[in-house]
């Protein structure tokens, strides 16, 4: 590669990859600036090292052993560490430039919405709308004939629930993320027209000003340590997740409501719609205790307090800002307006200073907002008094004027809004900060985001074994955990209806059992002291039997969250089974029928308005059965679950446990919604947002807005009675993919689960043992927390992470090519069947397109360097040939089915960005393998260990993916 800018960090020519002009310019600028900053920081030697290492990595026959032979400087791990840090920053800058470009392109495509309005000339013609936006969905539904009443009914059914998790797939520190976001803003400022009036700076030269800011932030970024000094704690994980609520989510949700109101007003002029809180967030961070002993009941309580504190302080800031705007005088308010009567009540209850009362007596809206602010401040003080959990405390806040709940706060905001409407200020009421604050209060309440509690099914069985023994119901010789399923059900059913508790609150229990019990006490306290919306569900990992669902119900009964009263059941929590393995997915409809037939669970359903949420695990199913088998099992399972729900007359919400990578269910969420089988989507959907996906989707408000508007667009269109495309795949297609999934599963399991030498290969040919030391998560990489010895004990995230690092990427494609080849070879017309499926069946097209992405990101020449690390070189070469052959087969058959000359030919922008990255990833991989090869068994060199960990973060940044 020629270097058009000698001062740049890498000899990269982005214009060779057919990127947009703005993106090409940004990459060239950042590459040059990084080189300049490195020289300023006395790190100019890294530029020459990076170029020589890059050249070496592209030589035919290059091997890691040549690194220290040809570049002896890199034998010093201190130098290697510095170089890897430079590569990491380089790719972080490239990623940031791409984010900024996404924002630019989306804004460019939206410009006509603000410049044209065809309704000015033809009242029957709607404005143009950007593809996959909320207005596009509304206008399409109106064009399809939906009346205003039909549209209201559709909106009432829409319930989209993104759920943030703490899964360890974000390798970057919060301080690093902050600086990258500021770099994106500086790039955007630099692109602003120089003649555009700037009111926020005395300088008129946008380019010079922005480049100075870029250099300043980049210098700070270089001098910021990439790795944390110690593993992240659960409270830190919670703060990191909550950061994105303050950064983007709170404002973007109100932005979506504005989009929808505007689109409805255009499509149905004169009609008034009631908008529900159609996007509501939840979180697992601080509540997910599956395999994480660090998530204690105390941590969960403090997390819930932090939720409430953050949202209350957010409201305070917005109310304070709003009262500076609503300075409308008393003469503009009718004498009999309800607002004025409320001020008299507030004056008697809220201790506002006489000076303020006098100063603002002629500004009723300012005065009302001052009272609102003081009530919020008192509510914040109440949160601080609850920092130490007292489970017996249920009294009111010490300050009697404090808001007890969000309903009272919302009532006051609504009073202000309605008064403005009545007094000829409707435009102020329905647009701008007040309208946004009303939406935020409706959506986020005083809980911010409901916190899910998740626990592994085995933990409930172990806890009840001890509790039943303490209660004298079972002896140590016949422990509960060893009972047959039918005996478990009989015991659970009897005790669920028994009003007496099994044990006293002060019972002598083991620490493990006490933690299982106490977290439900925390839930009870949170629902009473903080918000009834603070915790809404309890998720059971690895649900295999009906007893797995009744066990947490019995534990909830002990905490007073499930009870019988007057012959009726009262339950405060949704019980959510999580089906994760292929076998559990295949049999879950049978399990659900047995579950819903249980009289005790029927009572639970009645108490929850006959609503049932079911979670599907994408990660473990893929690790268990491979890419195609998992995708089809999940799709088929959704259809079978929907059928069971119809049989029992239940309302369903599917909760999709999707990861960031294709191998863990990643991909475009809107396509996943549109490709769901008939009956699986009734307007309600949940999905996880994990790791680096959170920072990518929610780091910048415009990207967060685009992500969510695409999901809302898909949700609206999927609910349409005029939905396009075949609602049910023909039996021939379903039979074809069922057979292919079964064949691919065999091929996958033969490699991963049945070959006795596979673990040896995986453990030596990937950096999995180093990933387990990366300080990016509060929970261990294995479910048991013990030393890794098999695939089964390894969590799905590090499983995928290691394959990304070694460039094999097998979780996103392995076995698919064999299945395509096998099916196409059975009958002469089968290839055409597959081509038709790809053209006409969105689900199959999505699966194939996702596989294409992973096939392109995989790189077998690089992967061979990792395979050669095995102690038994023949074993490593054997597995490498096996995987490489399947990669070649999958690529060839994918192109045959999609009728493309190269992979991702239908997505040239994505393909071009991958092509830009791949050559620059090779030197990092070569150095990573060389560092691992140079490490002797038992060596504990902290500098070399840090260099290896930095190589992992560098590859993660380059691949834009961890797990």
Catalytic site residues? 167, 623
Q: What is the rounded distance in angstroms from the CA atom of residue 849 to the CA atom of residue 905?
A: 10
Q: What is the rounded distance in angstroms from the CA atom of residue 863 to the CA atom of residue 809?
A: 10
Q: What is the rounded distance in angstroms from the CA atom of residue 292 to the CA atom of residue 929?
A: 31
Q: What is the rounded distance in angstroms from the CA atom of residue 581 to the CA atom of residue 620?
A: 6
**Environment class of 274 (CB within 10 Å of its CB; exposed 0-12, middle 13-18, buried 19+):** exposed
According to DSSP, residue 231 is labeled: P
DSSP letters spanning 47-74 = HHHHHHHHHHHTSTT--THHHHHH-GGG
109 Cβ contact partners less than 8 Å away, ≥ 6 residues apart: 130, 131
DSSP letters spanning 517-578 = HHHHHHHHHHHHHT-TTS--EEEEES--STHHHHHHHHHHHHTTSEEEETTEEEE-SEEEEE
Tokens of 201: 């700076």
Pairing mode of beta strands 611-617, 651-657: parallel
Cβ atoms 582, 621 nearer than 8 A:
yes
Tokens of 131: 């593809």
Q: What is the rounded distance in angstroms from the CA atom of residue 30 to the CA atom of residue 213?
A: 12
Radius of gyration of the chain from its Cα atoms, rounded to whole angstroms? 29
**Environment class of 877 (CB within 10 Å of its CB; exposed 0-12, middle 13-18, buried 19+):** middle
Closest CA to 168 of 265, 240, 110: 240
Determine which helix (DSSP H) or strand (DSSP E) holds 652, and give its type and residue range: strand 651-657
Beta-bridge partners for 615: 578, 655
DSSP letters spanning 700-711 = SHHHHHHHHHHH
Closest CA to 541 of 506, 579, 504: 579
Q: What is the rounded distance in angstroms from the CA atom of residue 467 to the CA atom of residue 109?
A: 61
Q: What is the rounded distance in angstroms from the CA atom of residue 661 to the CA atom of residue 582?
A: 19
Q: What is the rounded distance in angstroms from the CA atom of residue 894 to the CA atom of residue 880?
A: 21
Beta-bridge partners for 577: 540
65 Cβ contact partners less than 8 Å away, ≥ 6 residues apart: 930, 933
List the end-to-end C-alpha distance of the chain, in Å, as a whole number: 31
Sign of CA dihedral 896, 859, 843, 960: negative
Strands (DSSP E) found in 338-473:
450-451, 453-456
Cβ atoms 434, 420 nearer than 8 A:
yes
DSSP letters spanning 591-606 = HHHHHHHSHHHHHHHH
Count the Cβ atoms, other than its own, within 10 Å of residue 36.
Answer: 18
Q: Residue 293, SS3?
A: coil
């Amino acid at each position: 590669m020629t270097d058009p800018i000698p001062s740049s960090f890498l000899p990269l020519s982005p214009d060779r990859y057919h990127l947009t002009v703005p993106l090409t310019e940004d990459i060239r600028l950042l590459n040059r600036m990084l080189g300049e900053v490195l020289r300023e920081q006395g790190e100019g030697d890294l530029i020459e090292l990076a170029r020589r290492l890059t050249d070496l990595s592209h030589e035919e026959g290059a091997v890691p052993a040549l690194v220290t032979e040809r570049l002896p400087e890199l034998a010093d791990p201190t130098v290697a560490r510095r170089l890897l840090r430079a590569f990491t920053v380089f790719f972080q800058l490239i990623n940031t430039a791409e984010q900024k470009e996404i924002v630019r392109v989306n804004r460019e495509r939206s410009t006509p919405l603000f410049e044209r309005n065809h309704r000015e000339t033809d009242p029957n013609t709607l404005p143009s709308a950007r593809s996959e936006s909320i207005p596009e969905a509304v206008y399409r539904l109106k064009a399809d004939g939906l009346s205003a009443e039909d549209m209201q009914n559709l909106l009432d059914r829409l319930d989209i629930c993104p759920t943030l998790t703490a899964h360890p797939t974000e390798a970057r520190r919060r301080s690093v993320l902050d600086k990258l976001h500021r770099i994106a803003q500086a790039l955007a400022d630099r692109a602003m027209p120089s003649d555009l009036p700037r009111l926020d700076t005395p300088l008129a030269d946008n380019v010079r000003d922005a480049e100075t800011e870029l250099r300043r932030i980049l210098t700070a970024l270089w001098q910021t340590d990439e790795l944390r000094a110690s593993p992240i704690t659960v409270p830190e994980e919670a703060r990191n997740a909550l950061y994105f609520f303050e950064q983007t989510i709170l404002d973007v949700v109100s932005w979506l409501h504005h989009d929808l109101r505007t689109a409805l007003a255009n499509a149905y002029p004169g009609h008034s719609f009631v908008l529900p809180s159609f996007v509501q967030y939840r979180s697992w961070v601080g509540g997910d205790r599956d395999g994480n002993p660090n998530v204690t009941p105390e941590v969960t309580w403090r997390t819930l307090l932090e939720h409430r504190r953050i949202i209350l302080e957010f409201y305070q800031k917005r109310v304070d800002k709003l009262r500076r705007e609503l300075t409308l005088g008393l003469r503009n308010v009718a004498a009999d307006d309800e607002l004025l009567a409320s001020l008299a009540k507030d004056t008697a209850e809220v201790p506002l200073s006489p000076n303020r009362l006098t100063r603002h007596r002629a500004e009723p809206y300012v005065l009302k907002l001052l009272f609102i602010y003081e009530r919020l401040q008192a509510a914040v003080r109440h949160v601080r008094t609850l920092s130490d959990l007292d489970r017996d405390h249920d009294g009111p806040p010490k300050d009697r004027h404090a808001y007890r709940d969000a309903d009272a706060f919302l009532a006051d905001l609504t009073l202000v809004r309605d008064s403005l409407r009545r007094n000829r200020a409707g435009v102020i009421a329905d647009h701008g900060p007040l309208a946004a604050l009303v939406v935020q209060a409706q959506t986020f309440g005083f809980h911010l985001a409901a916190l899910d509690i998740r626990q592994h099914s085995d933990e409930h069985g172990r806890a009840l074994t001890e509790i039943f023994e303490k209660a004298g119901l079972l002896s140590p010789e016949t422990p509960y955990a060893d009972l047959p399923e039918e005996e478990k059900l009989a015991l659970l059913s009897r005790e669920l209806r028994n009003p007496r508790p099994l044990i006293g609150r002060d019972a002598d229990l083991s620490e493990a059992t006490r933690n299982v019990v106490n977290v439900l006490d925390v839930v009870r306290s949170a629902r009473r002291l903080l918000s009834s919306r603070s915790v809404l569900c309890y998720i059971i990992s690895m649900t295999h039997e009906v007893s797995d669902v009744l066990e947490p119900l019995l534990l909830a009964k002990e905490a007073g969250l499930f009870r019988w009263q007057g012959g009726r059941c009262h339950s405060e929590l949704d019980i959510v089974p999580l089906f994760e393995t292929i076998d559990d997915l295949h049999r879950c409809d049978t399990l659900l029928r047995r579950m819903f037939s249980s009289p005790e669970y029927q009572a639970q359903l009645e108490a929850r308005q006959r609503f049932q949420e079911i979670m599907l695990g994408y990660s473990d199913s893929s690790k268990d059965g491979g890419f195609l088998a998992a995708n089809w099992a999940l799709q088929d399972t959704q259809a079978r679950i929907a059928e069971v729900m119809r049989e029992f007359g239940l309302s369903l919400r599917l909760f999709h446990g999707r990861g960031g990578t294709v191998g863990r269910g990643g991909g475009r969420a809107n396509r996943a919604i549109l490709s769901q089988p008939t009956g699986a989507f009734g307007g309600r959907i949940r999905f996880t947002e994990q790791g680096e996906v959170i920072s990518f989707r929610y780091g910048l408000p415009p990207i967060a807005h685009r992500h969510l508007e695409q999901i809302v667009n898909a949700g609206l269109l999927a609910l349409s009675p005029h939905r396009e495309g075949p609602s049910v795949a023909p039996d021939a297609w379903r039979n074809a993919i069922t057979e292919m999934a079964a064949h691919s599963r065999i091929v996958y399991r033969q490699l991963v689960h049945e070959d006795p030498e596979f673990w040896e290969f995986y453990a030596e040919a990937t950096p999995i043992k180093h990933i387990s030391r990366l300080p990016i998560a509060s929970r261990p990489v294995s479910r048991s927390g013990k030393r890794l010895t098999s695939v089964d004990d390894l969590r799905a995230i590090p499983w995928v992470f290691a394959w990304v690092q070694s460039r094999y990427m097998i979780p996103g494609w392995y076995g698919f090519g064999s299945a395509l080849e096998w099916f196409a070879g059975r009958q002469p017309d089968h290839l055409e069947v597959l081509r038709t499926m790809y053209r006409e069946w969105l689900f199959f097209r999505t699966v194939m397109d996702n596989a294409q992405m992973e096939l392109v990101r995989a790189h077998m020449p690089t992967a061979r360097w990792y395979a050669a690390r095995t102690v038994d070189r023949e074993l490593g070469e054997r597995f490498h040939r096996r995987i490489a052959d399947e990669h070649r087969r999958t690529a060839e058959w994918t192109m045959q089915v999609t009728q493309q000359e190269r992979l991702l030919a239908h997505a040239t922008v994505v393909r071009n960005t991958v092509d830009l990255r791949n050559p620059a990833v090779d030197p990092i991989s070569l150095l990573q393998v060389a560092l691992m090869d140079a490490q002797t068994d038992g060596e504990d060199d902290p500098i070399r260990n840090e260099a290896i960990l930095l190589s992992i973060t560098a590859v993660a940044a380059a691949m834009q993916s961890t797990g």
